[in-house]
Structure 1
Amino acid sequence: MPPFGPGRTGPGPFTYCILAMPTLLATLPATAGAHLPVELYADSEAASAAVAAQIAGLIRTRAAEGRPCVLGLATGSSPTRVYEELVRLHREDGLSFQNVISFNLDEYYPMAPGSLQSYVRFMREYLFDHVDIRPENVHIPDGTVPEAQVAAFCQRYEEQIRAAGGIDLQLLGIGRTGHIGFNEPGSGPASRTRLITLDHVTRTDAASDFYGEENVPRRALTMGVGTILEARQVVLLAWGEGKAAVVKRMVEGDVTDSVPATYLQRHPAVQVVLDEAAGAELITRKTPWLRSLPCNWHDAALVRKAVTGLARTVSKPLLKLTDEDYNENGLSELLAQSGPAYDLNIRVFNELQHTITGWPGGKPNADDTYRPERAAPFPKRVLIFSPHPDDDVISMGGTLLRLVDQGHEVHVAYQTSGNIAVFDEDALRFADFAAEYDQMFQQNDPAGEQFYQRVADFLHTKAPGQVDSAEVQQLKGVIRRGEARAALRYAGLDPTTRAHFQDLPFYETGRVRKNPLGDEDLRLTMELLNRIQPHQIYAAGDLSDPHGTHRVCLAAIFESITRLKASGTPWLDDCWVWLYRGAWQEWDIDQIEMAVPLSPQELTRKRRAIFKHQSQKDRPLFPGADQREFWQRSEARNRTTAKLYDELGLPEYEGIEAFVRWEF
């Protein structure tokens, strides 16, 4: 069931560093509807800690037996927290890696081991440089092998695995194409370590790591599916909403080479470890009643999910559902407990109707009994947190405009500079402008001229994937700030008093990989909260952005509020937190707690505010899986949400922005 909705509170799957206890939500065995066993955790932190503990136990067991522990290791974002926890266990609990032999799944080809995107470098930075593993026991496919020797290298890699006694535990992630390792669609169950051509989708997903798809290698070395299936145990990790669809195909679909991960169904010892978001599309989570699983029909959120899902399945408005519709679609138990259909329909229809409001800050002097926001105080102090300098207008631009128009004191906090998302040619254009400006007005500023000359010299000689110099990072940050100020001015706000550029330190690495959330990030966030003392906070609950920045930014807000609450901060007693989405996906209709309708004119105004972010048009540097421009994605999601309300029998609008409340 969803983590939010009527009557649901708490951090749910969005926690990053708040939950003190790892939370295993469910163990779902393989059944007639699911071909692989699943372990479902509240969040990726808890799941990663559990997997790290399992690996640590295996290492210690093998050491006690006087045997090596052979691990197959993966790269990418999924296993990073597992490795960080293993490093912690080594430092704090004495876990030794002296008996560990490792074999990595894959490597881009060609790829120098010192390159930023190299998996050799990845493994060193996340694990090998921080534990006592013997260098001779580390094996990673070599991206520098001459092409004429690749076949021999791959055969030797297979022989080394066999000589080590085979892999005891293989760690895996899963790509959007269903690949494991770099075994793209078409890879068969007998495939072995080899050179493979990467799928276009895989290269698109990797574009953010390489600062553009054009820089992504077209080939890679990878263990084969057959090699992976020979491991004694396989643990596959998947986090976030973006993996939910392919996880469903892997767990519940038929075995097919178009989704190579489905071959894991033939393995006798597989664990699929998910956070709640990645498991959201599984039948046992999305529609458990269709598998005759026990359902708590006293849970209002589950009832709302079931009834809205039924209406969409049979293509009927809520108020036209019949007893037969419920009985014929696996909901006879719900009907028996809470029916007849008329009563259920009215109940859920009213819940959805009460989410709709044209007053996101609360309507003054009005009965707010059935409104999502309270009427008083009015006007409110509103603080909108925007992870990047454009998330505010992309994801909730219509609501922002509405809040300003209705007289609230609106502040926007831009949590990161967003500097890595600016094309080099845009930076050069601004450097050229600065030089022309200096000449035009005969300022003859030697320091400024030298600054921009250094920027131009660096960018003209910059290698693909090279980290920007500090000066280029600074210039690109200035570009993003200027665009954010322009958008706020268009919305009717004075950026000198209402824009707050936090530049949280975790982000400022100049690279796609960021630092962990730190004390300074929290200090800056708590200081801003205490200074503004908002009655409303808006934050990005959209966690499928390619780099995970949204996840860390939300963690900074949650942890800061948690600490302020624990210290007895009084203004928090009158503060509500609303989570928005929009850039990467939208809330499901059964989760929405506040729906702000947009007219055609408001949707146009929102689009114009997004257009102020010129460096992100016409093609953002890091588009993720969706190749459309951000304004196109945003409008499509707003219109889709409005269409869903309309199809369920609610009023028809041009668009709707949706929010879920987090009660701390």
Structure 2
Amino acid sequence: MARLNLLEETRYEKLPVTVFPTANSASISVARRIADIIKSKSDGEKTVLGLATGATPVKVYAELVRLHREEGLSFKNVITFNLDEYYPMKPLAAQSYVAFMKENLFDHVDIEWKNINIPDGTLDADYLQAYCYEYEQKITRLGGLDLQILGIGRTGHIGFNEPGSAPNSGTRLVTLDDLTRRDASHDFGGKENVPVKAITMGIGTIFKAKEIILMAWSQKKASIIKKAVEGEISSDVPATYLQLSDNVEFILDEGAASSLTRFDTPWLVKDCVWKDLLIKKAVIWLATALNKPVLKLTEEDYNNHGMAQLATEKGPVYNININIFNKVQHTITGWPGGKPDADDSQRPERANPAKKRSVIFSPHPDDDVISMGGTFIRLVDQGHEVHVAYQTSGNTAVWDDDALRYVEFAIDFAESQGQDNTKLKTLYQSMRQFLTAKQPNQADTPEIKTVKGLIRKGEAIAGARFAGLPDNQIHLQDLPFYDRLKVSKNVDFEDDIVQTMQLLNEIKPHQIFTAGDFADPNGTHKVCFDIIINAFKRLQHEAWTKDCWIWLYRGAWQEFETHEIEMAVPLSPQEVLRKRLAIFKHQSQKDLPVFPGDDAREFWVRAEDRTRETACAYDRLGLAEYEAMEAFVRYKID
């Protein structure tokens, strides 16, 4: 019976999928499967592995290294073939996959260098075709790959087999998709520095492996995983070709699996335990799918869209509709700090204390106004003691010529005041010389970092002042991890946590607002969130923490789903304009920021479009129509 239930639950999935709670537990499982293959070989028999690069397999390699060091796993009889390499690419370059594999695996185990095969990014173009053919033949002579591990790109590429790749393709030179290059831009210091081409194993080569494991972690991969697992086979999503293999398994964490039907809309494939949040999600999904207000949904609508069980167990349907309508309506508040002297039983925030201490944590110097600028201003206008904490300097995201321009201004200003600016001129010349010769992704000098940090500091202060804050409620944390991560992936966050604890204990807030949009391509938002949560947990013995609520905001990179929203703050047209002007204080991020991600819109445009869409989503459900809405979800610490 359990087997039949699983088949029913996964009937939309066209290949085997295993879901683990976390990327870490999934990576350990994959590593142990690799280890088992190696250990299963008799003396002298070679294990042939196909390896991937990128963030996805890093924890797998870390576990293999641990197994080697602590449990004696030997790689003496292992031969490896890497999937791909940028072209052209020097093997000693920081962005090369040779450097990646050495750093994450090869330098830490007893594999022999002669047994390592990585596509050669230094070859003359005239020799590439013959080289790629020999790469294929070498795999064949060894009897094929025992196991190929894969990640998946947001274009659906496996290896660098971009959309348009043929299912029988072999190792070859390919042109990279623009989205793939944008995703790699941070490693190269800008998309313009990312190679246009790469050498990759073909899909046909991958198919010959005795086992294929595709891994994906985090919600950022959820949409492409859904296409790969449940979509039709198409050259537009090369990973869908894996549906044709009898030897493939997708291994995912819960985030990457979250858009699969059995997790996203489980009522379509199985009977559900109808808890409040799932009911809310299902009813909003149904209303959205049918483009109907919630109160106009009928029993027939429920029955025809997989929700008959809900109608039977929790009906009548109209009562369900009214309940969900009320729940959504009660998320709307013009009082994000709580409405004084009001019944707060149906409101998202507490009425007391009437004047709260609120701290807004901003991972970058502009996330506060981009993501919750309207709420920020509303809190100040309503008399709350609002603090803002800028967690990082943001000095990476300033153009080099802007840094020079500001130093030129300082020189001219000093000269206009009759001051000696000789040292400043000397510093300026050294900056120009460095930037003229600067290599892609090369770290700036300390002086240039300082200038760029001061640019963003000034913008952040201007934005916070525009929102109405006095200077003593503006906190520039400049957490150390931000600069450390630029030179090392192994960073200790202890001093970041301690500094955050000190700030929290100083303010003793009733409200904490923190970024919850972990789609940030550079990962800073998630790191900053973890620091706050760790700091708060360590302070839970303090009395003030018992009455402190944590609210998550989004906006710079994504927005909450309607069913997730627990507080929606409507903005008038005038408040939208005030928010826009606050964002405009961040001039270095205007027009074209250094790291725009894969969204071509400016940040202020993204913010307005997303908040307008949230308001429209509420309107379509049959609620009041507002100009815009900023959305929040309450985070509860276990």
Indicate whether 1:521 and 2:499 are aligned. no
CA distance in 2, matches of 1:458, 1:279: 46
Alignment of 1:216-255 (within 5 A): 216-255=194-233
Alignment of 1:224-623 (within 5 A): 224-291=202-269, 293-297=270-274, 299-495=275-471, 497-509=472-484, 511=486, 514-565=489-540, 568-623=541-596
CA deviation vs aligned residue, 1:384-427 (integer Å, no higher than 9, x gap): 11111111111111111111111112122222222111111111
Relative to the length of structure 2, the TM-score reads: 0.95
Contact map agreement 1:431 1:455 (CA 8 A) in 2: no
Which 10-residue stretch deviates more, 618-627 or 66-75? 66-75
CA distance in 1, matches of 2:21, 2:555: 23
Note closer, same or farther for the CA distance 1:561–1:97 as it changes in structure 2 (3 Å cut).
Answer: farther
Segments of 5+ residues of structure 1 without an aligned counterpart are 1-25
Alignment partner of 2:319: what SS? helix
Indicate whether 1:55 and 2:30 are aligned. no
Residue of structure 1 in register with 2:12 after alignment: 33
How far off its partner does 1:650 sit? 1.1
How far off its partner does 1:29 sit? 8.9
CA distance in 2, matches of 1:84, 1:448: 46
CA distance in 2, matches of 1:156, 1:396: 56
* Percent of aligned pairs sharing the same letter: 57
How far off its partner does 1:513 sit? 7.2
Contact map agreement 1:27 1:37 (CA 8 A) in 2: no
How far off its partner does 1:517 sit? 4.9
Report the aligned-residue RMSD: 2.1
Alignment partner of 1:590: what SS? helix
Which one-letter code corresponds to 2:529 in the other structure?
L
How far off its partner does 1:434 sit? 2.1
Relative to the length of structure 1, the TM-score reads: 0.91
Segments of 5+ residues of structure 2 without an aligned counterpart are none
Contact map agreement 1:52 1:86 (CA 8 A) in 2: yes
Note closer, same or farther for the CA distance 1:49–1:363 as it changes in structure 2 (3 Å cut).
Answer: farther
How far off its partner does 1:610 sit? 0.9
CA distance in 2, matches of 1:595, 1:533: 25
CA distance in 2, matches of 1:421, 1:455: 17
Indicate whether 1:627 and 2:605 are aligned. no
| Matched pairs, number | 633
Alignment partner of 2:186: what SS? coil
CA distance in 1, matches of 2:430, 2:560: 45
Which one-letter code corresponds to 1:60 in the other structure?
K
Which one-letter code corresponds to 1:263 in the other structure?
Y
Note closer, same or farther for the CA distance 1:443–1:214 as it changes in structure 2 (3 Å cut).
Answer: same
CA distance in 1, matches of 2:198, 2:8: 34
CA distance in 2, matches of 1:435, 1:108: 43
Residue of structure 2 in register with 1:202 after alignment: 180
How far off its partner does 1:363 sit? 1.3
Contact map agreement 1:542 1:580 (CA 8 A) in 2: yes
Which one-letter code corresponds to 1:313 in the other structure?
A
Alignment partner of 2:80: what SS? strand
Which 10-residue stretch deviates more, 109-118 or 232-241? 232-241
Contact map agreement 1:240 1:544 (CA 8 A) in 2: no
Alignment of 1:8-157 (within 5 A): 31-62=10-41, 66-157=44-135
How far off its partner does 1:65 sit? 5.7
Which one-letter code corresponds to 1:44 in the other structure?
A
Alignment partner of 1:538: what SS? strand
Note closer, same or farther for the CA distance 1:30–1:332 as it changes in structure 2 (3 Å cut).
Answer: closer
CA distance in 1, matches of 2:46, 2:475: 54
CA deviation vs aligned residue, 1:299-350 (integer Å, no higher than 9, x gap): 1111111100010111110111111111111111100000111110011111
CA deviation vs aligned residue, 1:76-111 (integer Å, no higher than 9, x gap): 222223223333443444443333322111111111
Query: Aligned match of 2:610 in 613, 637, 662?
Result: 637
How far off its partner does 1:465 sit? 3.1
CA distance in 2, matches of 1:91, 1:442: 65
Structure scoring higher RCO (CA < 8 A, sep ≥ 6) equals 1
Contact map agreement 2:554 2:632 (CA 8 A) in 1: yes
How far off its partner does 1:467 sit? 2.4
Note closer, same or farther for the CA distance 1:314–1:162 as it changes in structure 2 (3 Å cut).
Answer: same
